[in-house]
Amino acid sequence: MKLTPEQKQEIADQQSQKNQTKRVTSPELEKILYEALPVLDHGFVRVVDYMGDDTSIVQSARVSYGKGTKKVSTDEGLIKYLMRHWHSTPFEMCEIKYHVKLPIFIARQWIRHRTANVNEYSARYSILDKEFYLPAKEQLSAQSTSNRQGRGELITGNQADEVLKILKDDATKTYDNYEKMLNEKFDGTIIDEKKSGLARELARMNLTLNSYTQWYWKTDLLNLLNFLFLRADSHAQYEIRVYAETMLDTVKKWVPITHAAFLDYRVGAVHVSSKGKKIIQQLVKGEKVNYENSGLSKREWNELMAAFEFKEKIV
């Protein structure tokens, strides 16, 4: 991740601010506020603003006036209860705003979560950075044979080198043509004084999807956790997962009690259907159960067996 001198100065200026507030703050999150946390080769995640903390969740659940004489353990018990029983509105009382730099193809996947306020860098107004995402070799995989939207075996050797060369050459060539159509270089230099550049809103359509964009993404804690539950999961695409994992670390600094409850009752939990519950009950009793009479599909059966580490898997 490379930051321009201007970006570094902006972050330094933001972090040097000394503001007094009567609002609740999260000391650990304050330590990294505005900091650019690196993701992928040129991307980052920055927390630029937030509202509330764990006590705000408890306060809204009780509709009380403040902390009073409650113990932290009391708040922890209530937050666990709210998480365990899928209560939602108390977690909506906290909000957070991120500044994210990410490849365009990940942004288009990310935006499917229609639960945030988003303002993206405008390529109609400004010239996009001359930066492209190039996967590390260990992330180059073939198409999965069992999952239409997943990765399979790792691509290695000369084939991996060829793929990386194609990605780099295509991105470089299209960006060079982008500058040529604009008649303007990334640094603002005019290429030919006698020519008029193509409108930026038209020239941008030639860029590859691994070009980087930026946006501000503001959401409440409930919807952030829903996003992280899906995107920080091991089955999520690697490129969006590393962003989600970085954001999950910021949640730990922001609302540590909620973070722990989230890991326990969401991320680490196993959710089963009524049929699945019945099968587990039978297996615990020592009764014989098999796939054929379970009423489950092959995928459901295998997922259930894997979740509880049973050996009765169907190939």
Boundaries of every domain in the chain: 5-128+210-267, 137-206, 274-307
CA dist list (Å): 85 to 188, 219, 224, 280 = 55, 22, 18, 21
**From the CB of residue 266, how many other CB atoms can be counted at a distance below 10 Å?**
16
CATH class of 5-128+210-267: alpha beta
Mean pLDDT, 10 residues at a time, the chain of 315 residues: 85 90 94 96 97 94 67 85 95 97 97 95 91 94 81 90 96 96 91 93 95 97 98 94 98 98 95 92 88 89 89 62
Q: In what order do the strands lie in the sheet with 117-120?
A: 37-39, 43-51, 95-103, 212-220, 117-120
pLDDT for the residue 65: 60
The model's pTM is 0.91
Give the per-residue pLDDT at 256: 98
pLDDT value of position 46? 97
Q: Which among 125, 210, 140 is positioned nearest to 175, based on CA atoms? A: 210
Q: Is the dihedral of CA 59, 65, 66, 68 positive or negative?
A: negative
pLDDT of 273 reads: 93
Report which of 120, 139, 112, 130 is spatially closest to residue 212, judged by C-alpha positions.
Answer: 130
Confidence (pLDDT) at 283: 87
pLDDT of residue 309: 87
For residue 286, the one-letter residue type is: G
CA 166/CA 210 separation, integer angstroms: 12
Contact call for residues 46 and 36 (beta carbons, < 8 A): yes
Residues with catalytic function? 231
Rounded CA Rg of the chain: 24
How much is the pLDDT for 163?
95
pLDDT value for 66:
60
